[in-house]
Amino acid sequence: MSFEKTRYAVVDIGSNTVKMNIYDVMTSEEGETRLNLVLTESSTIGLINYKRRRIMSDAGISRLIETLEKYKKLALAVNVAEDRIFSLATASLRYIVNASRVVSIVKAQTGLDTSLISGENEALLCFDGLKYALGGSVRTGMLCDLGGGSIELLGFVDGLAVKAYSDKFGCLSLYRKFVDEIIPSKKEKKKITGYVEGRISHVDWLSSYGDTLYIVGGTARSAARLHAEMTGAPAPMSGYTISYNEFLDTVDFYTDLNKNSIKTLIRLMPERLHTIVSGLLAFAAVVRRVNPKNIVISGSGLREGYLLSRIRELEAAGKSQPVAEAGIEIEFEDAGSPGSEETEDLEDFIEDSEESEDIDDSIRHEHSFSDQE
């Protein structure tokens, strides 16, 4: 079987880091698609720190543009065509009131069009990435994507999405909301756990999709590395599986924060030292609610799903060879608008702790999927 190779870059603008993956996309005449990761770049610029009252400052926009210009220059240098450099943003821009201005300035300064991804579409794109990574084994289960500023949960049956839920908290925003120092205290850990449990307590379908919970994202991959370190297992790859009890044991061990566990976190993931504990505690709360037999870590998620969706767009426009369909057609039942005036930005708590309030229910989004083809 012969393949045609095209090189693409996907830039993911996150609340804390901006990442770029460069892929060689191999497409056969029969429609089979393979994504070969060539290069990964990551810059911690902390866009969350440039938001005040749901507005990103000019300084934050400048930092973002500086990073995107550097990434674009690198992508062009390794032979990515300019129209094959894709940029996306999720919770980093999703809830700010000047998102359109940020996207427009980025376009004018860098030439990059940035797609602003909603919570429900983020869940679906992660699902596409999961199905690409694990193929036919992904039939019925739950998906959890925990990022820096949001969480997405999706239930699926026979490879089709059925229910999805998105909420505005992630490992970084939980850290900022509850932790005063680098490492959370015992009291702060209890607050994080209680908060996450409270936010997902009304989602009554989380345990309705079989025995497997699939987790994606950087914190998910970190959890796999920590489990392998603790148990002496081989280095984790996509599909790495942890039992329910072993996952919670891993979380307990690395959130106990004794001298040995802290040394391990510093050695394995120093860049995540301030967010890994809040992320593990959030995952543990989800695991207890879903109550799966096994937790499976996917090496692919949002960026791969987004790339596959863009390739399908190009194919439909006649600019690319046909690729295998990895997505689904869905209808959304929207439960609310993330831009509603009464919604208070989660990150604003740091400006004035006395004025900080719990986030409003209007930023929770729950969706049912029907009439899928």
pLDDT tens digits along 169-208: 999 999 999 999 999 999 999 999 999 999 999 999 999 9
What percentage of residues in the chain have a pLDDT greater than 90?
75
Q: Are 316 and 142 in contact (CB under 8 A)?
A: no
Report the C-alpha gap between 113 and 107 in whole angstroms.
6
Does residue 348 surpass a pLDDT of 60? no
**Once rounded to an integer, what is the mean pLDDT over residues 130-156?**
94
Name which CATH class applies to 3-116: alpha beta
DSSP helix/strand/coil, 312? helix
| 58-82 tens-digit pLDDT | 999 999 999 999 999 999 999 999 9
Place of tokens 């329910």: 244
DSSP 340: -
Return mean pLDDT, the chain: 87
Question: Quick one: CA dihedral 248, 238, 169, 172, positive or negative?
Answer: positive
Quote the CA–CA distance of 242 and 251 in Å, as a whole number. 12
3-116 and 133-300+335-368: same fold?
A: yes
pLDDT beyond 50 at 336: no
Measured in degrees and rounded to the nearest 5, phi and psi for residue 131 equal: -65, -35
* Residue 289 half-sphere exposure toward CB, CA atoms < 13 A: 23
Residue 308 has pLDDT above 50, yes or no: yes
**Could you tell me how far CA 260 lies from the centroid of its own chain?**
29
Residue type, 20: M
Radius of gyration of the chain (CA): 20
Buried b (16+ CB within 10 A) or exposed e, 254-281: bbebeeebbebbeebbeebebbbbbbbb
Asked whether 7 and 80 are in contact (CB, 8 A), the reply is yes
d(CA 250, CA 89): 31
pLDDT bin (cut points 50, 70, 90) of residue 214 is very high
Highest-scoring range by mean pLDDT, 98-107, 309-318, 361-370: 98-107
The residue-averaged pLDDT of 152-178 equals 95
pLDDT value of position 254: 96
pLDDT digits (tens, 9 = 90+) for 269-303: 998 999 999 999 999 999 999 999 999 999 999 99
Continuous segment of H or E residues that includes residue 144: strand 141-146
Are 264 and 254 a contacting pair, CB within 8 Å? yes
Mean pLDDT calculated for residue range 141-150: 95
Topology (CATH) of 133-300+335-368: Nucleotidyltransferase; domain 5 (3.30.420)
Task: Show me where the domains of the chain are located.
Answer: 3-116, 133-300+335-368
